[in-house]
Each structure stands twice: as C-alpha cells, then as structure tokens.
Amino acid sequence: MNIALIAHDKKKEDIIQFTKKHAGVFSKHELFATGTTGMRIADETGLDVTRFQSGPLGGDQQIGARIADEQMQMVIFFRDPLTAQPHEPDISALLRLCDVHQIPVATNLAGAEIMVRALDHDDIEWNSIIEENRKQE
C-alpha cells in the first residue's frame, strides 16, 4: 500500500515518534512524504521514504495528484490546528481529494494509531466496499 506521511512543523516530533513506534508496520509499505517530514523520518527512523516538495512549495498538491490518480491509499497528516499555514488552500484541497476518492486520512495521532493498528491486522474492508459501490453506479 502507498502511504503518505505529512506533519506540520510543531507536529514533526510526533510523527517521528509515531513512525518509530510503528516502523515494523510501515516497513511493509511504500512510504511517501512532503519534503521536510520525509527527510526527518528517513534520517531518524531509517525507513525508506520517497519525498515530494516541501508542503508550502507544493508537496501537498503532489500527494493530492497521486490520490487523483489512485496511486495513494492512505494519508497520515499531523496537522497543526493552532498555526496559520501559508498554503492552507493546498491543505484543504488534499483533504477534499481524500474524501472524493475515499482515502482513509488521519489528521492527528489518535486517529493515526487506530488506522495503523487496522493496517497491521489487515482489518480493512473499505476497498471492497468502494469496489462494490462503483459496480452499482
């Protein structure tokens, strides 16, 4: 599964701890990230991460494009809800595309923990539900 990892600056430590803790699960998947998040995860956890541009330079949009092409199956995005971001429209667009394409997205540590545990147990049915719905359309 292709998984996107993104964290705003004040959430970078959280995503490092989170990916370290779940490195065993993440190592079984293809990881993608915005620029700085990806560099820090790769440096500090040893996981392989394909990096896009930094968020403010278009990284969120690049991940959105992968979602539109159905090449990204999960998004973990630790947002900072207390700091204004210069690229807020890009962030909204990415989250919107997750909803358009039924991509599971966690925007905080608690939701991400549930998603990763489900992934670890292969306890995931949404793809088959989406497939069924498409057939009925």
Ligand X SMILES: O=C(CO)COP(=O)(O)O
**Which positions touch ligand X (CB under 6 A)?**
6, 8, 34-37, 54-56, 59-60, 91
Is 55 part of any known ligand binding site? yes
Catalytic residue (one of 14, 43, 48, 60): 60
99 catalytic per annotation: no
- Least distance to ligand X, CB of residue 21, Å: 19
Q: Helix 88-100 to helix 59-68 angle, to the nearest 10 degrees?
A: 20
- Least distance to ligand X, CB of residue 125, Å: 29
Nearest to 50, CA basis, from 68, 38, 67, 59: 38
Is 8 part of any known ligand binding site? yes
- Least distance to ligand X, CB of residue 59, Å: 5
Is 101 part of any known ligand binding site? no
Burial label, 45 (beta-carbon count in 10 A; 0-12, 13-18, 19+): buried
The vertex-105 CA angle with 100 and 107, nearest 5°, equals 125
Residues in the chain: 137
- What are 125's two structure tokens? 């049915």
Q: Which is nearer to ligand X, 57 or 124 (CB)?
A: 57
Binding residues for substrate: 8, 12, 34-37, 54-55, 87
Binding residues: 8, 12, 34-37, 54-55, 87
